[in-house]
Each structure stands twice: as structure tokens, then as C-alpha cells.
Structure 1
Amino acid sequence: MKEEYEAYCAAHGRPERIELMLSDINAVLRGKWLPGDALGKLTSGAVRLPYSTYAPAIMGNEVEATGLGIVVGDPDGALVPVKGSLRPVPWMPGTVAQLQVEMLTPEGQASPISPRGILERMVDRFTAHGWHPVVATELEFFLLRPRSKAYDAPKPPVRTPAAQNYDLEVVARQEAILTEILRACDVQGLETDTLIAEYGPGQFEVNFHHTGDVLAAADTALLFRRLVRGVVARHGMEATFMAKPYADAPGNGMHVHASVLDDTGENIFNHQAGPAPSATLKNAVAGVLATMEELQAIFAPHMNSYRRFQPMSFAPSTPDWGLDNRAAGVRLPEVTGPGARLEHRISGADVNPYLVLTAILGGMMHGLETAPDLPLPIDDPASEPAQRLGHDWFDAVERFAASDRAAEMFGTEFRDVYAAVKHDEVQTLTGMITPVEYQYYLSRL
């Protein structure tokens, strides 16, 4: 870490402060500001946070049912730096650096509830088989006019068409913001690919390059959301990765492309014999489909997420698959050559990317190891429609809480902590009486 810090200072100057960032289970970044010359305090183990910081509810409160927090005295865990994550923060005034951190348990062990650690362990399972996942993400977000109150409804930028799909003029109107976003990505080493205007009003999508460093891909998705919100705020606007900010427009998704290489660097999904998918790719798809319902609480973690799973929501919401068919939950863009892969299209952009990649890779692993039955693709005239994923948040959390596969992929302790947090969020947020209920029921019933 000392060498990394010295190299950073040589390239960017000594930072005034270092923002230490820990991802909780909702992918909310929590942490501390460290003076720029106090890195030794971190590397010596002297910088700590309450261990319960990994698992607060989205509202910020402790959840007693997790067994963490004040019910056990709220002990600290030492923060440890994530190698290679020291980066400048170009949208902030002054010289500011950011550094991702993980937290040890109060006993000094690697945390079983760290989202990043869970993904790392899943990648290790692939490595033990001689397999090496390659992934890429695509993230959608909306630009919004600034709001005066947190509960104000969103509004798109002025002169924004209701449907702006691939509209280059729309991109040009937001050139100052979008160019700064891409420039900041370059400064931080987040390797972007294409940028487009998506369908919704004020909606854009950025794609990232495929990489064999799965942890880096998840880091990139997490850091990109922070970067976009920071850059956009400098321009007097807001940005959101909320799954469904508008009822009558498409929501924000995070699509994931995934393939697997063997120890020789060959794509195990490549079907050299013809245009049909290989048996190996079919097995991986079957595993992803077979586990999708049990893991929906990972792909749709919040109350608003389930608006994407309702009819006419513009998003895939069914455990089905197709060849280059964007209506499918799992799409196969290519089945031959080095680009043979699956595209998982279920997740919203509001997810924890570490957990989503763990769930997708875990589903692929299940398929590769057990070869479950695969339904016909939706392109086949003989295929029968699959049962849609549910649009009830509580039911999804209940399925995850009871899932043996979730325990196997994420660990029993994490499954139970995650379910406890989500149960608390469900109880709190669905228990609120909304203005629309007062509007239509209070004086009529």
C-alpha cells in the first residue's frame, strides 16, 4: 500500500484527504475521511468502523434481527485497503483521493458478510474447476432536473423527447455532462466502451469492456454510480440509478454479459460446429434460469425494483432465454467464437453489483455442474411461456430466506443477514400510508 500511495502522489500530488469507502449490502458506500498523510494509520489496523456497518437497512438504521449492532455491543472491525483502488476524485474541489476498503470481523478474520468477499469466493470456486469467468456490465441512468424536496417527483431535462432511443441530438444536448463523466471514468481507470441515449426521457447507458477481473468489473459498476452522481451534481442536475423512476417509461437496468475461459484461454461456451449454442452454454443458461426465482431478491433488492416486474414495464421479467432476443431474461448474443456468452437482463441498476455477479456466476456454476433441463428458447414456435417472476417484494425476500441454493452460493450467515435486513425494509416501507391512498380512499370510504 505504501508503494501504491507513493505512485499515486507522483502522478496526482499528495491528497488533502482520502475517502475510505466500504460497500454495505445495499451497495451504499459508507466510511470515513482520512487525512491525506495518515495512510499509515489505516495500514496499521488503527482505522475501524462498527462491524454492523456492513448491514444497515436502506434507511440507515441497524436491524436487530441480523444479530449485529448494539444487541451485541456494536463491536468494531478494522478496515483494510483494497489493493489497486486508490484513485483521484476529479469532480471534487481540491486534491481528493478515494480508496475502497474491506472490514475484518471483530475477531480479525475475513468477513463472511462482505459483498466483495462473497464474490471473490465465488470466483475462487470457478478457479478450482480450471474455469475463469469473463464479464461486462451495462448500466442505465436518468438525468433529472434538480428537486427542492426529497419527495418531489422526478422531471427530465428540458427539451427531452418522451422516447429518445439512440437519439444523437439528445446526447449532444448533454455533451458537457456526458463528456465529463467519460473523462472522470478515464481518470479513475474505469474502462468505458459505448455511450448511448436510451429509450426513456433523460436516460443514458454506458457499457464497460469485458474483463477477466470479475472483482474489478463489480468495483467499476459500484464506482461508476458514485462518479455519475458526483459529476452530474456539479452541473446543477441530479442523476439516478433507481430501478423505475417513471411509471410510464422504461426503468434502469444493469445487464451482465458472462462467458468462461478454461486454463488455456479458450472459451468453453464456443460451439465451433455451428450456429446453435453448445451444450456447455446451454447448461450454464439452464442453471441461471433454474436459480433466478430464488435469487430475485438479489436482482431486485428494493421496493421500487418490483415495478420493473409488472406487465408492460419495458423490461424482461421472465426466466426464459432466446438467441439474440432482447425480450428474453437471458439472451445469447453470440454462440460461436471467443465472444460466445450469455447476457443476463433481469437486474435493475439499483443492485449491489458484487451480489448480482455472485448470483449469476453461481447459477452458471449450478448449470455446469448439474446440467438441469433447459426449456425451449422463446424463439422456438413450440416453446411455452415461462411463469413470470413475481412482482411482490415480500415474497421474493421469503424465497431467498428459505433458499438452500442462496445459502450455498452466498453462505448461510450472509443469506440470513440479508433476509433480516430486507424483512426490516419491507416492514418499514410497505407500512407507510401513501398520499395516493389518502387521495382516493380517505373521503370515499
Structure 2
Amino acid sequence: MRDVRDVSKAVLQNKGHPLAIMQSTLDTLYREESGRILATLIRLLGDFDLAEDAMHDAFAVALERWAVDGVPSNPRAWLVSTGRFKAIDALRRRARFDASQDKIADELESSRPATDSDDGHLEDDRLRLIFTCCHPALPPEARTALTLREVCGLTTEEIARAFLISAAALAQRIVRAKARIREAHLPYQVPSQEELPERLNGVLQVIYLVFNEGYYASSGASLTRSDLSGEAIRLGRLLLELLPEPEVTGLLALMLLQESRRAARTTATGELILLEHQDRSLWNRGQIVEGVALVERALRSRRFGPYTLQAAIAAVHSEAADAASTDWPQIVALYNLLAQAEPSPVVELNRAVAVAMRDGPEAGLTLIDSLFERGALADYHLAHAARADLCRRLGRDTDARDSYERALSLARQEPERRFLEKRLQDLAEKK
């Protein structure tokens, strides 16, 4: 695929050149708006790959024209309109070899183009796109991969690392998903009110996966990616407007409450700070107030599920002045409910950590060891890190060292790796 960032590299080395100045403006616009622009072009053109090429063509044209004419009053609408015309031109060129492309170009040319007045209603194009990417006709793994690629803009390599598969295999997964959408004529639209409830869970899963990749990046030099978590929250708000169901409310509450801790989760140099050691004065009180109100609304409905229960746990944390004053019995009780609503080894692990805070590290360690004995979470670095911490608190330094080393061998995120290395260094200095 072409990329606007590959355009005019030689010219752009001159920082004072008008193209270089405009490139900086476009880089910012690309980061902030390319997802929305792409979603709108997919709606207008009906083809993922054609829309991607059209968007990059539009940014390339903008680089040249805006440096001379100035930035238009509505850059997004300009880029959408230019991309549409570029796609029509591309189809006309292809028509020399495939007559069917000429018919498609005619249809696109006769359709109403995007205008400045469309900008408000175009906001829901990404919601349409996520429902298309999460269509039940696609395999579950394809839904997530396609959404991360097309809605969130992650690279194939980033998604492949998150899925623990090769980039080539992930790319084929995305290609097959696009082909399935095209061949089955899956509609690019939000489902009807009758269809929405059964389609909702898959969409919630993908939105939360996107949030998690932003809140707790699966790999790389940074612990977080605020662009992704912010986009997931925006999508959550749009979905709540469309379908004010308790679990939609609960998911938005969960994301806001977790996001509220962002500023306290790392040092100025990017080092990891655990929840118990965070400066809670840095937590975003506005997000906490909004999140708590949302979770209370969802709980009152008595039709809530796993996202609302997780949000309730986050709300209990948000209301405590420090780790010692946290209502751990209530958190354990909520984890008990969550384990019934959505049983999983990860939920059991989190419950074990809460039990350790309520009843002491020995009680939590017994639960974690039982998970490992059942063969669960053997390759999950956070499980080994949790076990290491409980062993350290019990003075079992050899066991703690073994678990920290296992966690380090599995961790792919640099702040986490540095944290684990520091814990191992502290243990070594105790000898």
C-alpha cells in the first residue's frame, strides 16, 4: 500500500521548505483523522483496499496543493472528496483491462460526494465499519484482526505480535476477511434494532481488545498507546448512544475508570508503577466520576454482565485513598460473581491476587499454584510475575527468583521487562 509518509522524502529533508512544513501538518492530521477518513471512504467506495489507496493518494495530493493554497476549512471532508475522485480515476485506468471497472466508476461518479455539511453524520462511519469488521460471517480471529487493522490502524506486525503468529499469517487472515466481505456482499451498516443485541457481544469484545492494546500495549517500548485507548472510548460512547444497554454502559465505565489511572502508571522516564504504589492524586477525577456514575446505572438495571462487574471492581479501587484502605472483601466478592459470569483462568488469577490482599500472600499463592497445576496460564507472564511477588512477600526468594525469570522470558514489553529485571536485581542484592 502507498503511504503519504513516503512522499517527497528528498524535499522534506529541508525543514524550512513549504512541503516540509505542510508535511508536519499532514502527519498530525493523519494520526488524528486517518481512521475516520478511511472509514468514510470504505462506505463510499465499498472496497477496503481501494479506500486505503484512495486515502493515501488524497494525502499525497494535499501535501502539494495545501502548501500552495493553504489548508481548507474542513480538511477531513476535502480529503474524503479527493480520495473518492482518485478512486474513480484509478477505476477508469483499470477499465482498459476490465470493462466491469468502468461500470463501478460510473456508479461511484453518479453517487453524491461527501461535502462539508456531511461532517457531523460522518462521525458514525467508524461504528459502521466496526460492525462490518465484526460481522458473524467472519471467523472470530479475523474480526479482531480486521478491526485492529482497519478501524485502529495497527500495522500487520503489531497485530501479529499481539496474536503470537507470524506477520505473513496475519496478513493472509486479513486478506481472507476482506475477500469474504466482498464476495458475500456483507453490508457496511449498523445492524437494525432487532439484530443489534445478538451482534453486540462481538463488537464489545473488539472494542475492549482495542482499549487494552492502548492501555496495556502487548509489546514495544511504551507501556501505553493513548491513541488506541482514546479511540476505544470514543467508539464506546458512540455505541452507547446507539444502544444504551447495560453492558455497553458497563464497558464504557470500565474503560474510563482504567484510563483514569494513565498519568500515574509510569514515571517520567517510562518506568512501570504498580497500582499499590501509584500517586492517586494523579488519577483523573473527571473520568472517575463519570465512570462510577455509569457503573452504578448499569448495576441498577440488574441485567449486567462481565464488563459491568469489572467496572465495579475498578470503581472500588478508584474510591480508595490507597491500597491499604481498599475494600478487598468487596473486590473478592465481585470477582466471585465475575468467575460465575465469565469463568476463565485470568479471572481466577486476578481473584487470587485479591484474596492475597484480603487474607495474606499464602492464601493467594495456594490459588495461583493450583492454576499452574491444572496447566493454566503456563505461558502468561503476568501469572508468573504475580506468583513471584507473593513468594517474595513470603521470603521464599529462590521460588520468587525462578518465577521472575520465567515471567521475564515471556514478557515482550520493555517497561515490564525492566521492572522484572529490577526485581531480580533486588533479590540478588539480598544474598
Q: Would the TM-score normalized by the shorter structure come out above 0.5?
A: no
Which one has more relative contact order, counting CA pairs under 8 Å at least 6 apart? 1
TM-score by length of 2: 0.26
Q: Kindly indicate which of the two structures has a greater share of residues assigned to strand.
A: 1
